[in-house]
């Protein structure tokens, strides 16, 4: 399919018709008819005849133009929204030519330095260019009227698509708290965004840890804290509210992961300590986990299961995730340390662990160390096995399991066959990366990064090829790329889903207002959440 043309902005204006003199109405009618004829004739002209600057004699330059966001040398999905950008160069006028060998070209006039690529053209271009290459030619007019052509930018189009939607929390950070605005979704094939659940009556409520079963938008959960507290299960349009805080649990469930079969949920209950450094104006909040225990919730039986091996006080278990075969639960584990001053925080180090669990027989295995990162002076967070089962995507930082503000926080990959780990340099920055998540086909992953300003985190995508290499990461595109400079909220817990979440906010709100059903805990361990394991007493005591 070949197509080409130009994109430009034109306007037609006229004075409003008067009514003071009836004799003038026929004249105005003739003039209006003539204007309409001219307008129709203008619109019928081929796009090639529009008022597009002539750049055919542009003088070539040896460097690429600086653009924001940096959409250069990428591998992009064939179903991503237009990569709109701003040209960060001097000049009095600009033209951008978007093209591919397979899909034609389009010249876009950008007098305000902002390149907005028409959606229909972009979709056709990507569809015809799967497995091919896109080109960006950027032209700038100098002060003396000379046109300059920067070095051509090339981006590859992958054959494999990415899941079409993302779901995330939005937070409004400040120096004391992070105000939770709600859970939202974005169609990343377009720019459509909508709220899934918010609370607008002014009271404080925390929505957190939203988790989907196999990227299915019809089966997910999220937790509600404070007002309307409970675990909200959403399955095929129906909602259930569960109270999971059952003795000897000290908190309700939090971090969660659905078993591939859809009936069981691995989750942890956690307690945090917060610290607000007085001498740091930017990285203002540190958090350390002081309690964390691992359980499995059976959706059909409405019951909880655990073992003393992962429900005790010596270690803190957190960030669970099932292996793709459903046989193991991967998680982070660290020793509970005494915290008497901020200096003690650096002692908080977590290893990557796993434990077997048989969903058919409710049988737990013993914890296994996958990688002892604490011995390397590092701390592991958010382990996520790949859909193929060969790798584990995770975060490594200098301390703790709450790395969203840690400069040391980077995305790493562990090869489960060789046990070798490596920093994914193509996707990392000098600031914080967090919350890595795979796409359903394993060819893409998403994570958050606050690399733009050190505070507000945005979702970034990266291609993961069949050789196990990650390619350059890029931020989710915006309809107006200037939005990156004015958007002050932060994205949190970004999940990829296969399509739109269609349950209405009204139905979710109604479900939240219902009283929760208490989960059953038929065989709780003999562990008190505050004092540790119960001591064995003599017979007859």
Query: Is the Cβ–Cβ distance between 400 and 408 less than 8 Å?
Result: no
Does one domain contain both 145 and 175?
no
Does one domain contain both 178 and 143?
no
Does one domain contain both 506 and 362?
yes
pLDDT at 408 > cutoff 80:
yes
Q: What CATH number does residue 115 fall under?
A: 2.60.40.3760
Residue 96, domain member (yes or no): yes
Say which residues have a Cβ less than 8 Å from residue 45's Cβ, sequence separation at least 6.
Answer: none
Model's pTM, two decimal places?
0.86
- Laid out side by side, the sheet with 458-463 consists of 433-438, 444-449, 458-463, 474-475
Q: Which of 42-46, 285-289, 381-385, 488-492 has the highest mean pLDDT?
A: 381-385
Residue 170, domain member (yes or no): yes
- Number of structural domains, the chain? 2
pLDDT attached to residue 178: 56
Do β-strands 59-60 and 147-149 pair in parallel, antiparallel, or remain unpaired?
Answer: parallel
Q: Tokens for 194, please give them.
A: 């909508």
Of 283, 281, 282, which Cα lies nearest the Cα of 406? 283
Residue 50, domain member (yes or no): no
Does one domain contain both 133 and 169?
no
User: Please, which pLDDT band fits residue 259 given cuts at 50, 70 and 90?
Assistant: very high
Residue 482, domain member (yes or no): yes
Residue 530, domain member (yes or no): no
pLDDT at 343 > cutoff 90:
no
Write out the residue range of the structural domain in which residue 509 sits.
165-518
Extract long-range pairs of 511-515: CB within 8 Å, 24+ residues apart. Answer: 511/232, 511/234, 511/239, 511/240, 511/241, 512/197, 512/224, 512/228, 512/230, 512/232, 512/241, 513/228, 514/239, 514/241, 515/241
Question: Where is the domain boundary, 121, 137, 157?
Answer: 157
Question: Where is the domain boundary, 157, 183, 208?
Answer: 157
pLDDT at 91 > cutoff 50:
yes
Q: What CATH number does residue 281 fall under?
A: 2.120.10.30
Q: Lowest mean pLDDT of 14-23, 135-144, 282-291, name the range.
A: 14-23
Does one domain contain both 145 and 216?
no
Say which residues have a Cβ less than 8 Å from residue 250's Cβ, sequence separation at least 6.
Answer: 269, 271, 291, 529, 530
Residue 286, domain member (yes or no): yes
Rounded to an integer, what distance in angstroms lies between the CA atom of residue 456 and that of residue 450?
5
Does one domain contain both 357 and 218?
yes
User: Please, which pLDDT band fits residue 226 given cuts at 50, 70 and 90?
Assistant: confident
pLDDT at 443 > cutoff 80:
yes
pLDDT attached to residue 498: 98
Does one domain contain both 345 and 436?
yes
Mean pLDDT, residues 64-85 = 98
Query: What percent of the chain has pLDDT above 90?
Result: 68
Residue 30, domain member (yes or no): no
Question: Which tens digits make up the pLDDT trace of 171-221?
Answer: 876 544 556 788 999 999 999 999 998 866 555 567 778 999 999 999 999
Q: Which residues on adjacent β-strands are paired with residue 338?
A: none
Does one domain contain both 95 and 173?
no
Q: Lowest mean pLDDT of 290-304, 359-373, 388-402, 514-528, name the range.
A: 514-528
Does one domain contain both 225 and 373?
yes
Question: Strands, DSSP E only, in 359-466?
Answer: 363-364, 368-371, 379-385, 391-397, 410-415, 421-423, 433-438, 444-449, 458-463
Residue 4 vs residue 481, higher pLDDT: 481
Query: Is the Cβ–Cβ distance between 50 and 106 less than 8 Å?
Result: no
Of 362, 441, 457, 372, which Cα lies nearest the Cα of 409? 457
Of 205, 253, 156, which Cα lies nearest the Cα of 462? 156
pLDDT attached to residue 285: 60
Does one domain contain both 341 and 447?
yes
């Amino acid at each position: 399919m070949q197509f080409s043309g130009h994109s430009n902005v034109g306007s037609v204006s006229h004075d409003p018709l008067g009514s003071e003199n009836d004799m003038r109405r026929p004249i105005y009618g003739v003039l209006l008819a003539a204007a309409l004829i001219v307008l129709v004739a203008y619109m019928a002209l081929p796009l090639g005849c529009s008022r597009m600057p002539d750049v055919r004699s542009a003088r070539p330059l040896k460097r690429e133009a600086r653009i924001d966001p940096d959409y250069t040398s990428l591998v992009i999905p064939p179903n991503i929204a237009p990569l709109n950008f701003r040209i960060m160069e001097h000049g009095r006028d600009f033209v951008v030519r978007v093209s591919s060998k397979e899909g034609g070209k389009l010249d876009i006039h950008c007098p305000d330095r902002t390149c907005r690529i028409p959606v229909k053209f972009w979709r056709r271009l990507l569809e015809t260019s799967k497995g091919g290459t896109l080109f960006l030619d950027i032209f700038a007019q100098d002060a003396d009227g000379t046109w300059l052509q920067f070095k051509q930018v090339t981006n590859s189009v992958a054959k494999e698509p990415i899941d079409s939607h993302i779901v995330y929390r939005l937070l409004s950070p400040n120096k004391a708290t992070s105000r939770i605005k709600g859970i939202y979704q974005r169609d990343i094939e377009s720019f459509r965004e909508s709220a899934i659940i918010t609370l607008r009556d002014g009271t404080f409520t925390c929505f957190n840890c939203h988790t989907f079963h196999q990227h299915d938008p019809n089966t997910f959960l999220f937790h509600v804290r404070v007002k309307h507290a409970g675990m909200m299960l959403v399955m095929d349009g129906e909602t259930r509210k569960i109270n999971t805080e059952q003795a000897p649990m000290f908190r309700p469930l939090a971090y969660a992961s659905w078993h591939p079969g859809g009936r069981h949920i691995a989750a942890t209950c956690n307690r945090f300590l917060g610290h607000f450094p007085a001498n740091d104006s930017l990285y203002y909040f540190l958090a350390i986990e002081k309690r964390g225990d691992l359980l499995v919730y059976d959706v059909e039986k409405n019951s909880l299961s655990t073992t003393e091996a992962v429900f005790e006080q010596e270690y803190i278990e957190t960030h669970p995730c099932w292996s793709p075969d459903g046989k193991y639960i991967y998680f982070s584990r660290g020793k509970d340390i005494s915290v008497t001053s901020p200096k003690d925080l650096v002692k908080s180090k977590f290893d990557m662990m796993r434990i077997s669990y048989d969903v058919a027989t409710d049988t737990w295995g013993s914890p296994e160390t996958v990688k002892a990162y604490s011995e390397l002076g590092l701390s592991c967070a958010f382990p996520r096995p790949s859909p193929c089962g060969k790798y584990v995507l995770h975060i490594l930082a200098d301390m703790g399991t709450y790395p969203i503000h840690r400069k040391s926080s980077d995305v790493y990959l562990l090869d489960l066959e060789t046990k070798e780990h490596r920093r994914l340099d193509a996707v990392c920055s000098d600031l914080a990366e967090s919350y890595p998540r795979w796409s359903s086909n394993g060819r893409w992953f998403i994570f958050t990064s606050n690399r733009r300003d050190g505070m507000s985190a945005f979702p970034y995508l990266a291609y993961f090829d069949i050789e196990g290499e990650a390619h350059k990461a890029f931020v989710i595109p915006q309809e107006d790329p200037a939005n990156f400079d004015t958007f002050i909220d932060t994205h949190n817990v970004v999940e990829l889903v296969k399509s739109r979440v269609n349950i209405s906010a009204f139905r979710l709100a109604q479900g939240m207002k219902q009283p929760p059903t208490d989960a059953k805990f038929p065989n709780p361990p003999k562990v008190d959440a505050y004092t540790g394991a119960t001591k064995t007493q003599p017979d007859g005591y």
